[in-house]
Structure 1
């Protein structure tokens, strides 16, 4: 906590400095002054939390200093020094506000000074918490477009130009929905505090405030301190780079940082906010640990996609028919290239992934066997960027040929049984239901399952249901009871027991693991 000592008698200042081991108790004397005018300038530059000030001084006395600081809304707490005969002035100072207490000069000792310092510190922290909450609420409303009178920004001390920054925890890409990052339980206040400490002494940019978008994203608003420099953008990036590194080492996970600059008009901050949130939504295009200016990214002007309307897999289908792996790899890369240039096309990416997933599972769909999920976290590593998606689908399409060879060995009766299970797994089906539908006996179907799939009928139904449950848990925010009902379990408790037996973890744990990886 920063302090300034103000007294026209140098001997008094030296006496106070010698009373307390300041560092030991978390205090730092950043400056001293012998009159109020010099002290006011120091307060504006150093922004101390506490000022110990004498009442009687030349040029500008203590009362005038307290009044000037109060008008500038610097949030400083004062400990007033006075002689016995100045007691009436001390009472007047207290009435001005911002005064924590007063001390009689000739009665100051170490214990008394520490007591009053801690009292001032507590008062400052309480006020600062309230000020910060109000300021951050105002900033959130201004940045998100809820504040319709941005001209009032001056009363909050905001001065352009501004830099707007969004920091996002990197989360695996999910093919289930158009989200940027999956929210997860987290103490965002802790890493906001870390960021604030790293920014506090930057000579070019001041952290003016912040707010959480959700548990995985924080938005920071910076105001430039040094208005004469022409390297504002570079200086902002230099400030963000160590923050980026610190978060990785402190929390053992990666973060991405997107920023916009410069913004002169506070009314334009809403546009900047849209830019950084769009950049975060398109994080899969730039990958993990991004540190990028949103204005430099090829973000779409409109959200509509034309890719899905014209998507064609002719070359890819031909490569699969010819079993030409090199041709297939080229075709996959070309398809992904189309949704990356000239602008990033997120909706087109989802259309492409859905189409490729259907293509990967086409042999399974035709033959009635369980389909594979390219994003199953218990089978595959998490995906974070386009290159990961290219590798994933190249690998799966290579496996499609061998899968075709395996499924061709299944009997016609078995494929009919599997198709029936896939169509009715959400119902209370029994082996008798399946055998009645396909025209064979239950005992014969039992034999087919053991011979051709090396598992029982119940094992297969359970595995298929759990596979569908995992897909729902990854892609949707459905309640566990709803998931259970949708895959054929009347009891959520029974579903939970079965899920843990098959996967080794509970349903809610599976969902949490997917969001953290």
Structure 2
């Protein structure tokens, strides 16, 4: 912490300078002065945090210096010195504000000086923290569009601006349209590291930062040197450095999306929406992205999802002909259409839904359970488009292999499985299913043993637990609700069955997935 000493007696200055080992105690004596006028100039140039000042000095005394610094809002705390126990002067000085303590010169020793310095330091840091929090709140309101004009209390709010969004990379899942990966507790630590890392950059000043509804951090910068032509490359270098710093501190990868060059504060909400939208498209750019959103091929949603129609004719034909090469080409063409000329996120999810149906439709015919191809407990996590394409191709290859190796189930068994899939959330029994498809319970029991190599109850249980795993991964539902939604009246019974099938309690399964 930077300290300046002001006294018209050089002997007093030397005495106080020698009382404590300044650097060892966490302080830096940056300057001394013998009058208030020269001290004011130094305060403006070097910005000390604490000034130890004598009251009675020539040219400009201590009271005048404190008043001038207060008017200029330099954010300095004063420790006032006096040779006399003049309490009327003490009251006058303290009433000015910005004064931490009033000391009598002949009473000062090393212990007293260090005590008052630490007291001033704690007060200064608390005030700065409170000011930073207030500024961050004002910046959040401005950037998100709650306030349309910047407050005059936002320090350094001068264009041009840079706006960045940083988020932890998370595996792709089909619920990303509505569910943002959240880690609010961790995000507070990430913010602390980012602000420390960006504070001393010579080109861009970090005006403030805030956390969004998830593990996303938004940073607002202003260009420091208005005379220099600082291009976006300096901002990119700073953000890349922060990205690497976060990885080094937390051993996790982060992606960064930013804009730069804005001159109108009222345009910040539009820039904010740009970086938020870009962050939703991470599957198109992969992990550890560092991208300026101004040039990204983001699409504007104009067609309602219900009006979209994606054709899978070539894929169906390849499966009918059992042609692997033709199937791979069809899948790649489907994804190519949603990457160019624009990134089509809605089209991506529609394509994924259609491909998933193609994969799952024949599952019942071969006695296979539906699986979530993005289940990180079963498969490697997917972070980018090429990995996503390969995941679908892999599962379609497996379906072709299954079609060749295993004969389809009988029509009766297919109808039984279809009924289970439609009514698993109800209290169904083998009697209910056999009645629905028109055969006896004993015959259906034999069909399960013969064609499925498992009992009716085993199959229903497996299907219910599969659905429970999907809910636990994608939603923050209570265990009681999960149990009810998959057909268990008793949450305790559901918990016991889940543990028997998976080896984990439901909350352990959810926590294990959230750490991936």
Regarding TM over 0.5, the answer is yes
Equivalent-residue separation in structure 2 for 1:11 and 1:111 (angstroms): 20
Aligned partner of 2:385 in structure 1 is 386
Equivalent-residue separation in structure 1 for 2:7 and 2:304 (angstroms): 68
Change (3 A) 1:87 1:423: closer
Equivalent-residue separation in structure 2 for 1:3 and 1:190 (angstroms): 29
Matched, 1:27 2:4: no
Aligned partner of 2:487 in structure 1 is 488
Aligned partner of 1:454 in structure 2 is 453
Q: Secondary structure at the match of 2:200?
A: coil
Q: CA deviation at 1:28?
A: 2.9
Equivalent-residue separation in structure 2 for 1:3 and 1:163 (angstroms): 32
Equivalent-residue separation in structure 2 for 1:44 and 1:298 (angstroms): 47
Deviations 1:285-305 (A, max 9, x none): 111111221212222234646
Matched, 1:348 2:347: yes
The worse-fitting range, judged by mean Cα deviation, of 86-95 and 274-283 is 86-95
Change (3 A) 1:185 1:403: farther
Instruction: Output the aligned Cα RMSD.
Output: 2.6
Change (3 A) 1:232 1:18: farther
Q: CA deviation at 1:254?
A: 1.4
Change (3 A) 1:400 1:281: same
Aligned partner of 1:272 in structure 2 is 271
Aligned partner of 2:416 in structure 1 is 417
Q: Is the Cα–Cα contact under 8 Å of residues 367 and 419 in structure 1 kept in the other structure? A: no
Aligned length: 516
Equivalent-residue separation in structure 1 for 2:340 and 2:265 (angstroms): 32
Aligned partner of 1:254 in structure 2 is 253
Aligned partner of 2:503 in structure 1 is 504
Equivalent-residue separation in structure 1 for 2:32 and 2:200 (angstroms): 19
Change (3 A) 1:101 1:507: same
Which structure's relative contact order is higher, taking Cα pairs within 8 Å and 6+ residues apart?
1
Change (3 A) 1:177 1:190: closer
Equivalent-residue separation in structure 2 for 1:391 and 1:29 (angstroms): 62
Aligned partner of 2:397 in structure 1 is 398
Equivalent-residue separation in structure 2 for 1:56 and 1:3 (angstroms): 20
Equivalent-residue separation in structure 1 for 2:233 and 2:40 (angstroms): 32
Q: CA deviation at 1:71?
A: 2.3
Q: Is the Cα–Cα contact under 8 Å of residues 50 and 76 in structure 1 kept in the other structure? A: yes
Aligned partner of 2:362 in structure 1 is 363
Aligned partner of 1:96 in structure 2 is 96
Equivalent-residue separation in structure 2 for 1:155 and 1:379 (angstroms): 50
Structure 2: tracts of 5 or more residues without a match: none
Deviations 1:317-363 (A, max 9, x none): 22222333223222222211211122211111111110110111121
The worse-fitting range, judged by mean Cα deviation, of 367-376 and 141-150 is 367-376
Equivalent-residue separation in structure 1 for 2:326 and 2:30 (angstroms): 68
Aligned partner of 2:168 in structure 1 is 169
Q: CA deviation at 1:90?
A: 4.4
The worse-fitting range, judged by mean Cα deviation, of 374-383 and 349-358 is 374-383
Equivalent-residue separation in structure 1 for 2:94 and 2:291 (angstroms): 49
Aligned partner of 2:192 in structure 1 is 193
The worse-fitting range, judged by mean Cα deviation, of 324-333 and 297-306 is 297-306
Q: Secondary structure at the match of 1:26?
A: coil
Equivalent-residue separation in structure 2 for 1:319 and 1:47 (angstroms): 72
Q: CA deviation at 1:456?
A: 2.4
Q: CA deviation at 1:16?
A: 2.7
Equivalent-residue separation in structure 2 for 1:237 and 1:390 (angstroms): 30
Deviations 1:103-135 (A, max 9, x none): 233432210011101111221222223212221
Equivalent-residue separation in structure 1 for 2:498 and 2:42 (angstroms): 65
Change (3 A) 1:446 1:2: farther
Aligned partner of 1:131 in structure 2 is 131
Aligned partner of 2:217 in structure 1 is 218
Aligned partner of 2:462 in structure 1 is 463
Q: Is the Cα–Cα contact under 8 Å of residues 165 and 275 in structure 2 kept in the other structure? A: yes
Equivalent-residue separation in structure 1 for 2:145 and 2:403 (angstroms): 54
Aligned partner of 2:108 in structure 1 is 108
Change (3 A) 1:465 1:31: farther
Equivalent-residue separation in structure 2 for 1:460 and 1:187 (angstroms): 40
Aligned partner of 2:158 in structure 1 is 159
Change (3 A) 1:451 1:133: same
Q: Secondary structure at the match of 1:116?
A: helix
Q: CA deviation at 1:441?
A: 4.2
Q: CA deviation at 1:21?
A: 2.4
Aligned partner of 1:337 in structure 2 is 336
Equivalent-residue separation in structure 1 for 2:50 and 2:106 (angstroms): 21
Equivalent-residue separation in structure 1 for 2:149 and 2:496 (angstroms): 55
